[in-house]
């Protein structure tokens, strides 16, 4: 994580300086959350390499062979690994669902203030509860203004009840209140009703700009319950980002569970003494890590672009590697 910080600092240092980011904020708001987030994300991989390292070291020092000849079953040898994996898995689950999102909220707020580029949303279209359809042509977070804002209300029979179009619209931050300018309203028997023009209107809607203009990693800042609520709302709107949010939710459980699988694989591949020494065991372990990450990325892309079920996309790599772990474990017993 310290090496990752060095590369990250070299990439973002000029932005930190130009935006006058305070040193205390860089350390405690950004990099503290950076270490928590990435350290927990790759914890199963780090544990895997650690298991391979000290198990291979025991094998090279001929400490495992006497254990086999003592008559103890391999399950007894594996018990401390499983107990440690359970503790680390539960800790990772707690971090993933409740602690890391809060740390991410602080970290990403810092990025938004001192590092992020301008956020643009174009051709937004969504359906909100209550048969309300919303559209706007573009939005920029620097201006905080929506252009060509359109709201249509439909009844249960799919007939238009009223129509509103404004040249610009601004949402008061943290509220459902909006200020519309240069707007046209048509209601009371739309489309036959009268057309009303107003220069300015202060009104409220059941949505906020934060729901419409979001970074792709907004799900990283939400706890388990908050993310479930977001997914429910986005499904009701027919949002294209639902698979991303579901993958984020399921990965928070699947990644910690991978600790069990990778630990068993690590013990199986490194419990034998090899001519190449510890290095060959680590090389084999890294190969498994790369294949696991590749499989996870392939399934994630398939879910987002092909429509593959998100829960399967996240859990299939674990299922495949569970079979690999079982096969390697059986070979290790021989």
Domain ranges of the chain: 21-114+240-333, 120-209
CA 271/CA 331 separation, integer angstroms: 11
Strand partners, 171: 178
Strand partners, 140: 120, 145
**Three-state SS for 330?**
helix
Phi-psi region of 172 (alpha: psi -120 to 50; beta: other; left: phi over 0): beta
pLDDT score of 303 more than 70: yes
pLDDT digits (tens, 9 = 90+) for 192-240: 667 888 999 999 998 888 888 887 788 999 999 999 998 988 888 777 7
Mean pLDDT for 71-76 is: 79
**Cα angle: 259, vertex 279, 79; to 5 degrees:** 35
The enclosing H or E element of 162 equals strand 160-171
pLDDT digits (tens, 9 = 90+) for 104-120: 999 998 988 888 777 88
Torsions phi, psi of 182, nearest 5? 50, 65
pTM: 0.79
């Amino acid at each position: 994580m310290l090496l990752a910080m060095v590369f990250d600092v070299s990439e973002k240092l000029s932005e930190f300086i130009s935006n006058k980011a305070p040193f205390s904020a860089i350390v405690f708001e950004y990099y503290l959350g950076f270490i928590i987030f990435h350290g927990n994300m790759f914890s199963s991989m780090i544990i895997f390499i650690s298991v391979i390292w000290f198990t291979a070291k025991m094998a090279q020092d001929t400490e495992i062979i006497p254990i086999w000849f003592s008559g103890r079953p391999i399950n007894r040898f594996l018990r401390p690994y499983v107990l440690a994996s359970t503790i680390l898995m539960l800790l990772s689950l707690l971090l993933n669902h409740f602690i890391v999102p809060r740390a991410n909220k602080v970290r990403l707020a810092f990025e938004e203030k001192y590092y992020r580029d301008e956020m643009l949303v174009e051709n937004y279209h969504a359906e909100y509860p209550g048969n309300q359809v919303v559209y706007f042509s573009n939005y920029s977070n620097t201006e905080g203004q929506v252009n060509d804002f359109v709201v249509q209300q439909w009844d249960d029979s799919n007939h238009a009840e009223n129509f509103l179009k404004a040249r610009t619209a601004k949402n008061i931050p943290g509220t459902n209140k909006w200020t519309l300018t240069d707007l046209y309203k048509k209601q009371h028997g739309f489309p036959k009703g009268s057309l009303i023009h107003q220069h300015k209107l202060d009104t409220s809607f059941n949505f906020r700009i934060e729901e419409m203009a979001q970074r792709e990693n907004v799900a990283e800042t939400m706890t388990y319950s908050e993310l479930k609520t977001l997914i429910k709302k986005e499904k009701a709107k027919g949002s294209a980002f639902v698979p991303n949010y579901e993958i984020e939710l399921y990965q928070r459980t699947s990644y910690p569970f991978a600790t069990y699988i990778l630990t068993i694989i690590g013990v199986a591949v490194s419990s034998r003494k090899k001519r190449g020494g510890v290095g060959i065991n680590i090389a084999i372990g890294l190969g498994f890590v790369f294949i696991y990450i590749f499989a996870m990325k392939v399934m994630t892309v398939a879910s987002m672009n092909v429509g593959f079920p998100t829960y399967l996309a996240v859990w299939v790599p674990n299922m495949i590697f569970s079979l690999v772990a079982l096969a390697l474990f059986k070979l290790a017993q021989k």
